[in-house]
Structures are given as structure tokens and as C-alpha cells.
Structure 1
Amino acid sequence: MRSYLSLVFKEIRKQKLTTFLIVVAIIMSTAMTTVIGQSIGIMKNLMLEQARSLNGDRYVTFHELDEQQIEHLKNIDGISQVGVVKTPGVMNIKDTGISMIVREHDTVSIKNYPNLSKVKRGRFPETPGEIAIDENTLKLMGINPDIGDKIPLDLSASLLKGTEPPFNFSSEYTLSGILESDYLGYVSGIVTAIAGPGTVNNLLPAKYNFASVDFRVDNLRDFQSKINSMATDLGVKEHQIQYNWIYLNALGVDYGGTDSEADGATGIAVIAVFIGILVLLAAGLVIYNILKISIVKKIKEYGILKAIGAEPNQLYKIVIAQILLLCAIAIPIGAAVGVLSANTITSAATSMINPEVFLANSSEHLSGLIHENAKGYFVPLLLGAGISLVFSLLAALPSAVYAAKVSPKIALSGVPQAIKRKISKSRKITSIERHLAWLNLKRNRGRTIITILSLFMSITVFVALNSFSSNLDISNAIKEFKMGDFSISNETVGIKKEAIQELLQNNNVERVSFVKYSMYTQKQIEQGEVTTDISYGNPSETLKIIGIDEQYLKELYPDITANQLADFKSGKLAIIKNPMSISSELKSTILNQGDILRINDRELKVQAITGKSVSIQGTGWVNGVDVIVYDSIYDELTGKNALKQINVYAKDKSNLEDLQSTVEQVSIDNPGSRWLSYSETDRQMQESFSQTKILAWGFILFVTLIGALNIINTTYTNIHTRINEIGMQRAIGMDNKSLYKVFLWEGAYYGILAAIFGSMAGYIISLFMSSAATGQMGLSSVPIIPILAGSTFSVAVCLVATVIPLRKIRAMSIVESIDIIS
């Protein structure tokens, strides 16, 4: 074996270019697998930081606990960050649709909610008579604030369930601090103010003196059973439990709630596998291509070895030993490059965005938060190195098999395979260079396929990652609750339909959608205000009849066909949102797809069940059965036609001043209406995703760089191994211009074919990746821009990679080109 190792060393030293290209391919694959392991962990942590900033650093909240239950909960092992929230009451801000909930200051609880913990001026309240309110809410209240001002509030306190009427009272507070504006509350219609400790005890009767408690569970294994056990011990009912669904979904925790999508962690893991396989295949194909070409060139040498008695397993050893030696050199370098690249990308991401978005005091603090699980990155590092080694060996095996099976007679004769020519019809050749390029591709189909596959993998990864990056945005879950850039609402007399035409006259309006809304309690149903055959399981559930326009209908039901749309318009079909189950004692009403229901003598078939709620801004979603129908069918069912909400979508979101004036005027022209802008809400949500997006793009650009190097590697190898062929073409009279055209056409063919198939594969894989992350499979819009960018880039790189080696070969003499031994 020692002599074989010596032979391997000699081959490696002799074939410097081949050795270099294989080492580069292994380095690239190892670097990429390392970056995947590092970046996926970092992206997951950034998603968790975003979830914390959006909806609180808590897993669960138990509502309406008394002092004894609170103390019992604090003493339970395995929970942390226990924050006690006492709420004096809620106040509706006039003509805004926004409710302000007042909560007592609690150090732990405030830290759990990043958007409440930023004081712009003054300080947090310290006594029962003090309060802190965010700046924009004060403006909505018509107050020009100053620290120390007296602010009267009309509050209402109520219980989650029961027959007790709300407790309404008025009280006056001293403004101790002005908080940073929290526009995310606009989506739910609720903003928060902070009162001094002791406010509840001073103002509320004992029967309303309860608290909510936020907490985290230290070990997420068997999460739901732990929550159920705690609830049983404390005597907490199901309707008193609120899960932080945004955070738990990002963690991938199955908590059994209606919004539970235990796929955050699983989705990230599946994405890592997808990307890893694609990148390793791309690098593996390059290694295979280079080794195969190398062995074909040395076929006489292998024939001589077999002729003098070498066994097939010994030839196996030569090829495998060669790749093992190269892996020993390349894998440590690739791992180091991967770690440095991942850290560089992360550092760039954390330094470009305000760290306060993620509860951090500085970029260094944020970087520490992101890498708090860095000890777990060592396993992906070893795993990446191991996978690169395995894939390199797998890529070398076909070449080893080919070397071991070749016949000594064929090898020594220099004709490794019979040449078969097909008789083709004569046709006019318009471009000899393009014709020769196409013949070159057909002449060695194996090499052509391998080259195209290498390009194909790079384009596939680029398109898939570009299309998928938006799925990393945790705030998408919140964005679903708002529609458009402005909303005009009026839940009393409604808005005249003429308002839509007035809005559309503004040149910055892209489109307008609207909602018609009527809600009926079961008592109203019994009194005959509306008739229905729905059998309610819970007496607290309501019936809501909701009318929407065609565009809104298509957004709510993306799979709608032309025939189904016609059936919606004719009043045959409806979409249903079922009520939430809030009590284990009463069975909630459940309607299924295909069910037939009757409302006011009209029969409707349930075409789809939606999880999205359609409600009027600021009123929240009331538990019950939502029957969503087309605009005109709502008029027939209810006898009403007033719009309850209009959603306005802008063309140019950077300039909304003129459109805001139009929206405001429409609101004035319809008495009792209110309007709201979501521009600042969008800004806050976009800011919360900025660092994750930068990191994702850094990752995408790194993948693109690896793909470009793979393209150059493969193309350069193909051309370099054809020096003799190029010399013969020059010898028979082909000038340099024609030579360039032949290989440029060949490179263009490679790039175009790879772009077509890679774009299709990238789109398909992006659908699977989105399905893994969201738990829902469905078609999405074709990513035209990423496809065009990836295709153009790959063709350009292919052409450049063709020109560079040709310049070097052109400088050789014709005799030297024909006689050269690579």
C-alpha cells in the first residue's frame, strides 16, 4: 500500500491544476455546509428575538389570578420571568377605534414587553397617582403633553366571563413619563399605558381585583402537559390561559392552541437540509466532473497498471486515497472559511440596525444574544466536515469504478469507447461557430450534463433562497391582521359606498377593499332579527354576516376558480370562520367544508373554512360563527348596504401625505367615521425584520459566490482539458475570433439550459421550503426577478469563465497546444 500512496503523491504533484480545482471544490462545499450550520442557528435566534420584540418575552399568561394563586405560581419549579400584570381598566379613545389598556408598573413584566419599556421623556410611574403614556396615543387623545400634566381618564374594568357588569369609573393621573410610540398596537386596536404600583388596590372593588401573570417554562419538553398540570393545580380554567403564539410558533412548540403551528424549528431544520443537499450536490458534481476528466486523461496509465497485474481494488485505493488526501487538506480550510464567513455576515447584520429593536443595549449585546447558543454550533461544524467528506468520496466513486473496470486493451489503444455517428439530414448552417458549439455539447453528453447540472444547482439554490427569505419574517403573522395602508371605519351608521369612488380619484390609490358587517347575538336570533338553522353549542357565540368585495374574497380564498367566483356572486357559496373553543364544559359550534346552512331562507354551501378573522378595526374579533359572503349577497341577507370599513392601498408608500388628506376628508364626510394610518406600523414591523433580512441576504450572496466559483471551476476544467482539440482547430485555420465565438456559444448554451431548468427547480423547491416553514402547501407567485437575476448572473459568469482560459490558450503556439500533456 505504501507504493500506491507514493503513486498518489506523484499524481497529485504532477496534476497541479486538477489537484487545485478539486481542492477548491471541497473547500467550497465544506465552507457552505459550515455556513449553513452557523447561519441557520443564528437566523433562528434572530427570529426568536423578533418574536420577543413583537409580542413579549413570555410563553404563557394566566389571567384573573388572585394573590394566593399568584404566590403559588411563583413557587412552582421550572418557570421563570414571572411578571405580574394588574389592570385598572380600559379606555376607548374617541373617534380612533383604539382602546388604551392601563396596567400597573411591574419591573419583570415591563422587561417582558420591549415595546413598553422605552421611555422617551421622564420616567416610569412610581406611585398610584402617576402614569406613563406613549407619545402618539397622547396625540390621539388630543393632549399636548408635558411631564407633570394632570390627565383625566374614564376607565372600565370587566371580567373575562360572568354576569357582572363592567365597573366604570373616572380618575386623574400625573404624567410621569412619555413612552416611545408603539404603532404595532394599531393592528389589534389596543395600546398600553403604565400606571404606578398600587393603582388597582386604590381604585377597584375586590371582585375586580385580579391580576394576569406572564411566565416562561424553562424546559419546553412536554410543554402542554406542564401547562395543563399548572392550570389544574391553580384552578385556572381554559379561558384564562393565553399563549404567546408568535413566540411559541417560532420556537416550534406544539401548545395545542388554535394558532399552534409547531413548525418554526422544524421548518428551519428542513430548510437547512434542502439547502445543504443542493450545495453538496453542486460541489459533488464539480468533483465528479474533474475526477472523471482526470481519469479519462490517464486511462493509458491505468491500463498499464492493470496489464502488469494491478487488481481492481488496488485501482480503487489509488483514486480513493487521492480524494482522502485532498480532503485532509481542503476540509479544515473550508471549515475555517465557513466560520469566518458566518461571523462576518452576522457582524455586518448586527452593526447595521438599531439593536434596541431586539431588546439589546448595543450591537455587542445583540451579537451576544444571537450567539447565546454558540456552543451548539460545534456539532454543525463537525457534521458539515463529515458530510463534505462523504459527498467527496461519493463523487469520486464513479470515477474509481470507471478506472477499475476499464479494459487494458482498450486503455492502451487510446480508444476508451466506440464512436457512433448518427446520420442526420443536411441543413443550412447559418453560424458555423454556433453549430460547432452545439456539436460539442452533443459529442460528450456526459460532460455536458454534468456541467449543466453544476450550473443548475447554483441557480436553484439562488432562486429558492430568494423566494423563501420573506418566510423568515415573524411579523408576517401580525401583518395578516391589518389590510392596506389606511383604514376608514364606522361600526354605527356605516360609510356611504360613494366614498370608494372619491378615494379612487386620488392618483396614489392602487386599490380599495371594503367590509360590510352585521353581528347577531343568539337572543337577537330568537327574536327573529335573522333566521338560521345553525345549531349553536355555546350560548355566548354570535352569528356574523360579513360582505366583502371580489379582491378581498380572492385574498381570503386564493384557490378560487372562475366558476366558484360566479357561485359566490350568485349567493350559492360562503366562507366560514368557526368560533374558538373557550370552554371545555361547552362544545363550540363547528361547520365543515361542504356543509349546507340556511340564513333568511337562502341556502349556502360552505366552500372553505378560513383561519383569518375579518373584523372592524378597533373592535376586535367577537367569538362566533363568521359567514363571509359576496358584497351584494350581504345586502340581500341583512337588508343593509352600508360599508363598515374601507381599506386603502397606496401605490407609492413613500409619499402618503396627499392620500392621507383624502382619507381624512372621506372620514369627515361620513359622520361617525374614524381613520387610521398604518405607515408607522409597517415601519416598526419592517425594522423588526431588518437584521434577519440582512443576514439572509448575506447568506444568499455567499451561496451565489460559491455558485459562481463552481461555474468557473467546471467551465475552466472543460476548456483546459480540450487544449489539444483547440490546437487542432487553430491548425486547420480557425482564427481567434471564431474560436472565441465557438466557446462563447457553448458557454451560453450551458448557462441558458441551466437557467431554464434551475429556475423551475428553484421555484418548486421554494414551495416545499415554504410548506415546511408554514405548514401549508400552496402555489405562490413566480419569483420573476430572482429568476432573471440568477439566470443572467449564471450566463454572464459562464461567459467570463470561458474567456479567461481561452486568452491563455490563445497565447500558446499551435504546436505546443497539440503536443501539450496536461
Structure 2
Amino acid sequence: MRKYTGLTEKYLLGQKKRSILTIVGIILSVTLLTAVGTLAMSYQDKLVRQTIQDYGDYEVSFNGVSGKDVPRIVNQAAIGSAGVIHRIGYATISSTSEKEQKENPFAAPYRYLNVKGYDSQAMSKLQVQLESGRLPQKPNEIILSSWSLNNFTSKPAVGDKITLDLGDRVEASTGKVKSVNSIGDYGWNLDEKFKPRMKQQYTVVGVMKTAKNVTWSSTFIYSAITYDDHQKIDPSQNFFIYATMKSMDNIKEKSEAILSSLGLGNVDQGSAQELNRENVLKDIRIEYNNELLKLFGKSTYANVNQSSMYAFAAIVLIIMGCTSAVIYNTFHISVLERISQFGMLRCIGATPAQIRRIVFKEATVLSLIAIPIGLFTGTILMKVLFYNISMLTLGFLNDMHMIILLPVLLAAAGLGLIVVYVSALGPAKLASNVSPLEALKTSGSTAVEQGDFKRLSFAGSKWLGFEGRFASRNIRRNRKRFRITAFSMIISIVMYIVFGGLVNLLGTTSESGIDYSYSLDYQGMNKRIPNSVYNKLVTLDGVKEAYPFYTHQLQAIIPKEKINPDYYQQQKEMYTVEQENGYRMGNNFLTSYGINGLQELRPKLTSGSIDASQMNDENGVIVIQKISMITDKGTNMIIDQTRFKVGDKIKVRSMGDKQSYKTVTVVGTADQAPLSGKYTESAVIQMITTPKVIENITGDNSYDRIFIQANPETDNGAIVGYFKSLVQQDAGYNYRDRIEEMKQARNDAMTLNIFLYGFIGVIAAIAFLNILNTVSTNLILRTKEFAVLKAIGMTQKEIRKMVLLEGVFYGVFAAVYGSLLGTGLSYSVSYLMRNAVQVEWVMPWSSILIGSLGAIIATLIASYWPLRRLERIQITDGLRGEN
């Protein structure tokens, strides 16, 4: 051996068990980095694909562009690709009968097709979804909305030819063409007629799926798409351009610069929240697909991008800090137990620099072995997770693919290597600073405690016996080793609390959607559904539950102190009319889902209780306080509108009623309404109550909607058949089938929970293995110490009790400090994300309890195997052998 560093390989081979424990620590760290990186990339890929499907595969749209300006925008250097759409015209497919107009005074005079010309890029960018057939490829081919088919005189099928009278909707009184600049459809009015311009024959080549975000006008206006390559553009028409930029950087500035360079002004700007949204336009409107852009950190809201970046950086630092602690602990314990060896090397001439090089070479060798294994185990762990997800065949995560990217693997390996060297710095410095004389005189890992041993804490009291006193003194005698082991446990608790908080945040902001199968509405003359219809519904096969829906808009005086100040800052314009030390507001709704609907509200209560009799006696209401909103700065905020408490009084009266106010009493609060997993997105204050209270307040006990929950195990043909018979009898009725939507919503909620808690399971498993590794290493390296205790008469049972009590002390200590640090970091991450997602932060009590108990249990389990090993070791072998 020519140099001291040659001792590294001999030591690692000679102390195989200790080396393996160190390698396991590094493997755990790299596994965590690989798993988190792969999971993040895979989840982002799924979100991107889902967002493209829901909102479109474009980044910016230019709406209302004149024909002469289309080529000038599409051919801009900054634009990578663009799809162009224009409105060809309306076509009537049926007229509304006199009977239907009489029964439903809000019916449109016709049922229209809104025919639009898409080029191939537009169909791709707006993700036209087909139910059957194919997309149009020629100007004489068309695809129809599935909802429109039954309104044709003769229901068309794929392959049929149809002839449409294309034209305009005009004001009947003036003959003026209705101004429509949006790609979507506005409503209609009674002063309307249709003016045909030309006949056009089309071949039906496909049927479109119904869009998720349909508008109320979809019952009378249906989409139809034909092909137009836009090689010849009419300069007198307005067009809609959906573009993908060559680079997402500074997308807002680039879009504005494009219009500025063309001398186009009067630009209105907005954010595309959904496909086919209806917008009142100026000359031109720019919309940014921020739902897609924010997934790449390129949102037009700078604060959202910064907040996401800061939160991501904080999470990465927490992971690196935790993994660094795992490896640091392993190295530190190893160095402490080898102080005498380093002291001997110092005695024969080794310099501090050479000692440091020995430790760093050891770190390098172990890294070269452990990092590839960590990359492999992290990948396999994710492969197993994704395989299990694919076997579930449920909603949102059905087509989630495992994305293995070389940059992620390289980053995990690089970060792992950095973490190893950073972790080795402290132990290397400790080893190089060893005094030869002190090192030879003692083991270096044990320092005799200074002070009065008679002053014992509760941990060393007689209540726990002399084993408890021994355990307490061992901890106090070896404070460094205690801190190292406890620190490892603290880190595990911190990881669990922080990532548990992130899971709760994602779960809070994810909406599970509706919770009913059908809805029956009535818009006829008398504005009410007779009780006989409800009574018939509840007897039908397949109906699990039916809820009559009563709703009345109210004026209310909301006391100023009951308005959440944070919400007030966001919506000051709502609070302008002051009255009686409060604000008079009209955006209040008194609603009821029937007596049985109150049962659906019980799990969502945040305070108070539900007692229908009490509510009837006191005019009791349950206030829905939370609301989901997007601020002007693009922040997704879930916030309480009000701060009502049980017992508060609210003055209300019906809209238009000039009589005195009546008083309702708050008997409870909830975050969400019945039959929905979503937070309301409307700036309304909703008060849930009983039908009797609605009659007391408004004098009206009518309802015009019924929600139905169907039995998923029963054929629902009877339900749909009854709905159709109602529509034939009275055109004021219409119904919506939400079976698939509800199933999808439940599947999405279930799979999201599986995904999130699967991730928590990975974190918990790695935290457990971290504790297992550290505690086991600590005990194995104390073999001589336990041999001495057995030599002086301590039985194996007494040693076992002492070790287990030490584990409990470690766990209690780690639980206190881990909970404090984890809670602080959890709040910090939530604070950093406040500009992107703002949810009221709550103390993570459940994570604290589970993490603390888990750490104590893991410590006791980790102590079991080393104790069994120690039982089999003879005293002489323990005193003589190295660990």
C-alpha cells in the first residue's frame, strides 16, 4: 500500500455490515430523489394532456381578426403553428311549435346549427372529440353534435347527405343582423327571425361528443363543423386564430407586439378558462390559455410563475436536506466509532488532509455502488406504482404514463452525489481534527457526562426501573450519538408532515364534481313541478333518491363584521350599499334539497348540527361559506366569504319585496352544497334550509327542478322513459343525463386519492427505512457496550427493556421537535404557493399524530433485529470483535 487512502477498500471490505448499512442509506436517498422526480414528470405529463383535452392545444388566440389580417398574423416569426376558424353561418333544423312556445315562453323560435369552418390545425388545437365517424377533410363534409341529431326531421347518420339553408339571425323589428363576434353562441330573444343566404349540401362524416362545459343555450343552438383550409379568405369576415408560439417565454409581450406591428388597436385581453367560452369582444380580443401555460411555469401571471417556482425549489431543498441528513447520520456514526483508528493513523504520521481524503474516498466508493442501485430501485418502485394504477382502470389516472427522462435520472444521480459529499464534510472534518493522544486514550465515541447523576429526569425515575435510568444515562452520556439518531427520526417526521400537507392541498383544490345521476327541469308557464311528478319518480325502478330543489333569490343585510376581510379586499365592488351597520346585497339564495337533502349535507358540516324540526321553528339555515375563485392576478383561491357562526341572525327578504325584513338563524356552516364535490365559483351566499322555512320566508313552496340519484346496479330505462313522456306532454320539461359525468367524477376523486396517498405511502416507507437504517446502525455499532453490560451481570431481558426505553425516549424527543419543524416548513411551503394556489392553512394534526406514533413504532421495530442478533453473540466475541 503506497498511500493512506489505500486503507479505504480494506476497511470497507473488512467491515461489510457497516458498509452495507451506509450503502443502504445512500440508496434510500437516491431512490427518493428518483421516485419524486419521475412522479412529478409523469403527473405533469398527465396534467398537460388532460388540460389540452379540456382547454385546447394552443397558447394564445386572436379573436375577431379581419380576413385581410389573418395571413399577417399566422406568418409572424414568433408563431410556430396556428389554426384558423370562421363562422359560416346558422342553419335551422326545426322550428319551435306554438305549443312548445306556449308551454315554454323562453324557447327560441328555432333550433339552430352554428356551422363553423375549421382547418386541420384548428381541429387539432381545439381537440374536437368524436363519438363516431371521422373528422371532415373536405368543404362539403360536416360533423354534427350528438345533441342535435334528434331535432332533425329525419335523424341523419354517418354517411348521409343533408342540405342546409345557411343564413343569419336578424332582429325581426329592424332586419339588422345580430352582431356575433365570438366563436361560441349567445342566447336568443323573442324579437328574432332567421334570414337564409344560401343552400349547401354536406355529407355527415362524424358525430361530435358533447362538450363538458356546455352553456344554457346548448338546448337550442348546436355546433357543427366543416372543413375549410382557408386558402381563400374573405376580407369582410372575422376569423379566430389559435396559435402555438415557438417559445412560451414572454408570451404576452410577443402577442401584443404582433398586433402592434400590424397597427391593430382596441385590443381586449383575457384568459381562456374553458373552450367555447362566450365573450363580448372589442375589435380584437387576445386570450391566453393559462390553464396550459401555468403547467410549464409560463403563465401570463408573473406572480403565479414565481410562486410555483419558489414552492418547487423549497420542496427540492427539503428533499435534499432530508436525504442529506440520512447519509450524514450514517457517515457520522461510522466516524464516531472509528475515532481510535483515525487517532492511530495520526500517530504514525497521517496528516488531517490525508484523513479527510480517506473519508471522501470512502464516500466516493460507496456512492459509485449505491447511486446506480438507487436509480434502479426508484425506477422499479415507480414502475410498480404505475402498474397498479393501470390495473385499476379508473378515471383521471387511467392513461397516466410513467415518464422516465434521462435529465431526471442524471439530476437524481448528481444531487445524490452532491448530498453524499456535503454529508461527508462534517464527519471528514471531525476525523481530521482528532487528537492522537485523546483518540488512543478513549474510543472517541463516548464522553463521560459531567454533572450530578442523582438529578434525574422523569425518564430516569424509579417508575421505569434501573433500565430506565440506564437508558436515560446512555442518552445523556452519548449526546452526539443521541442527536444523530434523533435527528434522523426528526427528518422522517418532517418529511411526512410536509408532504402530507402537500397532499391535503392538492386534495382540497381538486374538485370531484357532481353527485347526482339526472336532473329534471321545468321552464313552463306555471314555473313549478307538481308533487305528483316527484311522487312518481321516487317509485320508479332505478331511482335511489330524489331531491326536489327549491331556490329563491333574496336581499340580505350582511353585517360588516361577518364578511371575511380577505374576501372583502378581493370583491370590494360588491359591498357598496350600506344599511344597518352592514351591506345590503342581492346575491343571496335560500335553497333547499328537501328534507332528505339535509342528510347529504351532514358530512360537509364545519360547525353546528342539522335538526329539521329546529330549523322549521327558528327559520334555521346552514350557510355555505367557502368559495373558489381566480383573482385578477391569476391566483386560484379557496376562501371563506363570510364568518358566520352558529346563533348569528341574518335579515332577509324576497327580491322586489318592499316589506319589512324577516330573520333567519344560522344553525350551521358548511364548505360545499349537497350533491356536489365542488366549491361554488359564483359570488353568491347560499343558505341551505328546509322547504317549510322557504315557505315561511318567501310565501312560496314551489320547486322547478329535481335531482335524481340512480342505483348503479339497476337498469335506468324506466327513468329515461318517464322523462321522455313528460317532455312529450309538456315542452317546458327538459332533462340532463349525468350518469357518465358522475361516474367520471367519482372515479377521478378515487384515483386522485389513490395517487396522492400512494405518494404518501412512498414517503412513509422511505421515512420508515431511514429510521430502521439509522437505529439499527446505532445499535449494531454498540455491540461492545452491550457485551460489557452483559459481562457485569445485566440480563438479556433487562438489556432489551433498556434499549426499547431508549427508543421511546428517542421517539418522544423526535416527535416534539419533528412536529414543530415539520409544521413550520409545511406552513412555509403553503405560504410560498400563495400566489398560485391560496387555501387556508390548517394545523396538520393528523400528520403530526401519525408521524410521531409512526416514528416511535419504527424505532421499536428497528430495535428488534439488532437485539435478536445481540442475543446470539457471546460475551467474549462481543468484547473482542469489531462491528
Indicate whether the TM-score tops 0.5. yes
Question: What does residue 421 of structure 2 align with?
Answer: 393
Q: CA–CA distance in 2 between the matches of 1:712 and 1:180?
A: 56
**1:687-726 to 2 correspondences below 5 Å:** 700-726=760-786
Equivalent of residue 625 in structure 2, options 550, 554, 559: 554
Matched, 1:418 2:452: no
Name whichever of 33-42 and 189-198 sits farther off: 189-198
Question: What does residue 874 of structure 2 align with?
Answer: 813
Seen in structure 2, the aligned counterparts of structure 1 residues 734 and 195 have a Cα distance that, compared at 3 Å, is same
Q: CA–CA distance in 1 between the matches of 2:706 and 2:349?
A: 83
Matched, 1:52 2:52: yes
Question: What does residue 217 of structure 1 align with?
Answer: 245
Q: Give the structure with the higher percent helix.
A: 1
Q: CA deviation at 1:224?
A: 0.6
Q: CA–CA distance in 1 between the matches of 2:463 and 2:530?
A: 66
Q: CA–CA distance in 1 between the matches of 2:800 and 2:686?
A: 64
Contact 2:5 2:358 in 1 (8 A): yes
Question: What does residue 42 of structure 1 align with?
Answer: 42
Q: CA RMSD in A?
A: 6.0
**1:209-608 to 2 correspondences below 5 Å:** 210-232=238-260, 233=262, 234-235=264-265, 237-238=267-268, 239=281, 240-255=285-300, 262-263=304-305, 267=308, 269-307=309-347, 310-335=350-375, 337-338=377-378, 374=405, 377-378=406-407, 380-414=408-442, 416=444, 417-420=447-450, 421-424=452-455, 428-429=462-463, 437=471, 440-469=474-503, 516-517=552-553, 545-547=587-589, 553-556=624-627, 558-559=639-640, 569-570=650-651
1:262 partner amino acid? V
User: Is the partner of 2:244 in helix, strand or coil?
Assistant: strand
Q: CA deviation at 1:334?
A: 3.4
Seen in structure 2, the aligned counterparts of structure 1 residues 270 and 657 have a Cα distance that, compared at 3 Å, is farther
2:777 partner amino acid? T
Q: CA–CA distance in 2 between the matches of 1:357 and 1:298?
A: 50
Q: CA deviation at 1:568?
A: 7.9
1:569 partner amino acid? I
Contact 2:587 2:684 in 1 (8 A): yes
2:424 partner amino acid? A
Q: Deviations over 1:27-64 (max 9, x none)?
A: 33234334444443333222211210111112223223
Contact 2:27 2:371 in 1 (8 A): yes
Equivalent of residue 169 in structure 1, options 191, 194, 206: 194
Q: Deviations over 1:307-362 (max 9, x none)?
A: 4555444433333343234334433443455456556766776787699999x9xx
Contact 2:141 2:202 in 1 (8 A): yes
1:112 partner amino acid? K
Contact 2:58 2:125 in 1 (8 A): yes
User: Is the partner of 2:625 in helix, strand or coil?
Assistant: helix
Contact 2:307 2:834 in 1 (8 A): no
Q: Which has the higher contact order (CA 8 A, sep 6+)?
A: 1
Q: CA–CA distance in 2 between the matches of 1:652 and 1:71?
A: 55
Q: CA deviation at 1:567?
A: 7.3
Q: CA–CA distance in 2 between the matches of 1:142 and 1:734?
A: 97
Seen in structure 2, the aligned counterparts of structure 1 residues 197 and 403 have a Cα distance that, compared at 3 Å, is closer
1:390 partner amino acid? I
Question: What does residue 180 of structure 2 align with?
Answer: 159
User: Is the partner of 1:132 in helix, strand or coil?
Assistant: strand
Q: CA–CA distance in 1 between the matches of 2:345 and 2:490?
A: 37
Question: What does residue 132 of structure 1 align with?
Answer: 144
User: Is the partner of 2:240 in helix, strand or coil?
Assistant: strand
2:226 partner amino acid? P
1:418 partner amino acid? V
Seen in structure 2, the aligned counterparts of structure 1 residues 792 and 187 have a Cα distance that, compared at 3 Å, is farther
Q: CA deviation at 1:457?
A: 2.6
Q: CA deviation at 1:159?
A: 1.5
TM-score (norm 1): 0.70
Contact 1:100 1:190 in 2 (8 A): no
Q: CA–CA distance in 2 between the matches of 1:198 and 1:414?
A: 87
Q: CA deviation at 1:223?
A: 0.6
Matched, 1:111 2:127: no
Q: Deviations over 1:727-784 (max 9, x none)?
A: 2444455544454444344445545654565566556545544555562444356667
Contact 1:34 1:384 in 2 (8 A): yes
Contact 2:129 2:209 in 1 (8 A): no
1:197 partner amino acid? T
Q: CA–CA distance in 1 between the matches of 2:156 and 2:845?
A: 50
Q: CA–CA distance in 2 between the matches of 1:746 and 1:497?
A: 72
Q: CA–CA distance in 1 between the matches of 2:576 and 2:436?
A: 84
Q: CA deviation at 1:690?
A: 8.8
Q: Deviations over 1:539-561 (max 9, x none)?
A: xxxx9634367655411284467
Seen in structure 2, the aligned counterparts of structure 1 residues 196 and 706 have a Cα distance that, compared at 3 Å, is closer
Name whichever of 760-769 and 215-224 sits farther off: 760-769
Contact 1:53 1:357 in 2 (8 A): no
User: Is the partner of 1:104 in helix, strand or coil?
Assistant: strand
Q: CA deviation at 1:120?
A: 2.7
User: Is the partner of 2:341 in helix, strand or coil?
Assistant: helix
Q: CA–CA distance in 1 between the matches of 2:502 and 2:140?
A: 49
Q: Percent identity?
A: 20
2:343 partner amino acid? G
User: Is the partner of 1:712 in helix, strand or coil?
Assistant: helix
User: Is the partner of 1:569 in helix, strand or coil?
Assistant: strand
Seen in structure 2, the aligned counterparts of structure 1 residues 200 and 152 have a Cα distance that, compared at 3 Å, is farther
Q: CA–CA distance in 1 between the matches of 2:786 and 2:880?
A: 11
Q: List runs of 5+ in structure 2 lacking aligned partners.
A: 170-177, 269-280, 556-573, 578-584, 592-620, 628-637, 662-670
User: Is the partner of 1:219 in helix, strand or coil?
Assistant: coil
Q: CA–CA distance in 2 between the matches of 1:86 and 1:472?
A: 39
User: Is the partner of 1:77 in helix, strand or coil?
Assistant: coil
Q: CA deviation at 1:692?
A: 8.0
Seen in structure 2, the aligned counterparts of structure 1 residues 321 and 249 have a Cα distance that, compared at 3 Å, is closer
User: Is the partner of 2:64 in helix, strand or coil?
Assistant: strand
| Matched positions, count | 738
Q: CA–CA distance in 1 between the matches of 2:112 and 2:470?
A: 75
Seen in structure 2, the aligned counterparts of structure 1 residues 292 and 200 have a Cα distance that, compared at 3 Å, is closer
Q: CA–CA distance in 2 between the matches of 1:90 and 1:457?
A: 67
TM-score (norm 2): 0.66
User: Is the partner of 1:387 in helix, strand or coil?
Assistant: helix
Q: List runs of 5+ in structure 1 lacking aligned partners.
A: 520-531, 536-542, 573-598, 603-611
2:490 partner amino acid? F
Question: What does residue 83 of structure 2 align with?
Answer: 83
Question: What does residue 590 of structure 1 align with?
Answer: none
1:454 partner amino acid? S
Q: CA–CA distance in 2 between the matches of 1:411 and 1:237?
A: 78
Q: CA deviation at 1:502?
A: 10
Contact 2:493 2:851 in 1 (8 A): yes
Q: CA–CA distance in 1 between the matches of 2:394 and 2:688?
A: 45
User: Is the partner of 1:810 in helix, strand or coil?
Assistant: helix
Contact 2:61 2:287 in 1 (8 A): yes
Q: CA–CA distance in 1 between the matches of 2:337 and 2:790?
A: 22
Q: CA–CA distance in 2 between the matches of 1:664 and 1:325?
A: 74
